[in-house]
Copies of this chain bind each other. A is one copy, B any other.
């Protein structure tokens, strides 16, 4: 296994690369992104061959088809990945801007300048496109990145990062801006979590177990991503047809993702009509319904819910349902059972929607739209490095700005403090 000294050496090389990157112009960084995009497409044969090795190994391991599909690269997917890098190049410069300037004590002139974070490390699972997406976001923002992907995608990731590093070097940018940890032993994560002073930010993207381990054990600053116990609340003044459509989209379009719905709340004033109507579309879409006693009394399709069903992030075709007495109970329920990710109210009552949006404590709160929109691309951020469920200080879909910081520049004429 890589020992702590070797990881420190890697991180020291990242730091050196980050210092160079931080002083580059937008033009240089954009050229790097375009070169990365070209190089990926030019290397298609090698990339797909490496990916095929990962796929073959995964098939031998009896990996389910859904996971194989996440792992799979194709010519079209590679084109899409390269396209994302080109889109990044079109975005405005996320660093180098003076956000504010003002006069402090004794007329010292203060400027707040947006700068990169420095060295970022990401621990993530499965999909090899994430490797390129994260690398692209980091180059755009002048950060160096240390990647630690999953064992399943190792051959693909080795090939992809080699191509990206060569492309960067060809443009005169440091190859060490993008480094991959090839060691997939679990112990490496433990070492990364303790590299204070070497890594500025650690982002765990993956299963709940990985995220919990990192949040609980990292001394490097972490952004917690992704756990989503998201609710759809049908208010008494809500349109039942709209609720059906939003519910099915939020639950079924991609059940394994964090912005999928995992809990349904129905106002008791319309429950007699709404619960059977919602149960009907859930049944049509093969979604198992686990309901409270009132829910079960209104539809034979529901199974009785256990207490923990109201907290669980199912990530499959299962949803809990609770009949609530009104807006107050719905808000309190969500603040107690939700994971502060994405919460939806369906209602035609603007005042009720306003109260829900104000009082629900979550990264994204929706009125009459699906929770599936919580995504950097859907929000128009151009790119996303993850979805933060913490508040310190990035929240929700994290675009370019989330991986930048700022520093204060102070211009004096010899002032000393009184």
Contact = CB atoms under 8 A, between A and B. Distances in A.
B416 A249 contact: yes
A187 interface: no
Contact of A369 (B194, B368, B415): B415
Interface string A97-127: 0000011110010100001011000000000
A373 B117 contact: no
Interface string A242-278: 1001101110010000000000000000000000000
A188 B304 CA distance: 41
A373 B415 CA distance: 9
A290 interface: no
Interface in A386-418: 390-396, 402, 405-417
A20 to B, nearest CB: 10
Given A105-B380, A108-B373, A407 B395 contact: yes
Q: Chain A: interface residue count, which band? A: 35 or more
A139 interface: no
A61 to B, nearest CB: 32
A297 interface: no
A408 B396 contact: yes
Interface stretch (A148-156, A157-165, A214-222, A314-322): A214-222
Contact of A380 (B102, B367, B392): B102
A411 B372 contact: no
Given A117-B392, A366-B412, A411-B368, A417 B359 contact: no
Nearest to A362: B407
A52 to B, nearest CB: 31
Contact of A223 (B108, B217, B392, B406): B392
B395 A406 contact: yes
B410 A392 contact: no
A323 interface: no
Interface in A194-253: 194, 196, 200-201, 215-217, 219, 221-223, 239, 242, 245-246, 248-250, 253
A363 interface: yes
B416 A246 contact: yes
B409 A357 contact: yes
B412 A369 contact: yes
A378 B109 CA distance: 11
A379 B110 contact: yes
B391 A393 contact: no
Contacts of A117: 391-392
A365 interface: yes
Contact of A408 (B219, B364, B394, B406): B364
6 contacts: A22-B359, A102-B380, A118-B391, A357-B409, A373-B412, A379-B408
Given A390-B221, A393-B405, A365 B216 contact: no
Interface in A300-358: 335, 353, 357-358
A166 interface: no
Contacts of A393: 392-394, 402, 405
A411 B366 CA distance: 6
Given A216-B219, A370-B416, A415-B373, A395 B390 contact: no
Given A110-B379, A392-B223, A393-B393, A412 B368 contact: yes
Contact of A414 (B104, B239, B394): B239
B221 A372 contact: no
Given A367-B411, A378-B104, A417 B357 contact: no
Interface string A33-58: 00000000000000000000000000
A380 B109 CA distance: 11
A217 B216 contact: no
A103 B369 CA distance: 13
A85 to B, nearest CB: 20
A165 to B, nearest CB: 24
B412 A367 contact: yes
